[in-house]
Amino acid sequence: MTYLVSLLLMALIIGLVAVASNPAPYFAALGLVVAAGVGCGVLISHGGSFLSLVLFLIYLGGMLVVFAYSAALAAEPFPESWGDWSVLGYVLVYLMGVGLMMGFFCEGWYEGSWMVIDTFKEFSMLRGDISGVAMMYSSGGAVLVICAWVLLLTLFVVLELTRGLSRGSLRAV
C-alpha cells in the first residue's frame, strides 16, 4: 500500500507540473484532470473515500466549464505540446525545483508521519467520512439534482458568452 501511495504522489507531482508548464489550454485541462484524479486517489488511500468522490465530481464539473471557456477563447490551429523544446525546458525546470525542495524539506518524512488506512483497520468500527451519506442522499437529494442542473446551465451560459459574432464553440454545421 505504501508503494501505491508513493506512486500516486509522484503522479500528482507530474500532473501539477503538466498544469504549471501549460503549453495550451487543452493540455492544461488534461493535466488538471490527472492531478484531480490522482489527488482523490491519495485521499482514498488515507481513508476519505466519500470525500474524494464528491470532490472529484465537483472538481470535474468546474473544470468542464473552465475548459470550455478557455478552449473557445484560445482556439489555436497548432497548439504547443509537451514535446516542444520551450515547454520541455519549463517541465525540466519545474521538476528540478521539486527535486531541490524534496532534498531540503523531506528529511525523515517516512519515519511514521503518514499512515495509510490499512494500517489501523482492525481498530475502526465506523468510517468517519461516510457516516452522513444516507442523510445527505435522503434529505439533500433535491439539492444535489439542483446543483447538477446549475452546472449544466453554467456550461451553456459560458458557451453562449464566448460565442461572439456568431462564431464560437456552438456552431451550426
Instruction: Return averaged pLDDT per consecutive 10 residues of the chain, 173 residues in all.
Output: 83 86 75 85 80 80 73 70 80 88 72 54 58 69 86 82 62 53
Q: Let me know: does 102 contact 6? Beta carbons within 8 Å.
A: no
Name the grid cell of 82.
509537451
**What integer pLDDT is reported at residue 53 of this predicted model?**
81
**What integer pLDDT is reported at residue 43 of this predicted model?**
83
Q: Is residue 17 packed enough to be buried (19+ CB in 10 Å), middle (13-18) or exposed (0-12)?
A: buried
Instruction: For residue 67, give the amino acid letter.
Output: F
**What integer pLDDT is reported at residue 108 of this predicted model?**
62
**What integer pLDDT is reported at residue 171 of this predicted model?**
54
Report d(CA 164, CA 115) in Å as an integer. 52
**What integer pLDDT is reported at residue 149 of this predicted model?**
92
**What integer pLDDT is reported at residue 150 of this predicted model?**
92
**What integer pLDDT is reported at residue 170 of this predicted model?**
52
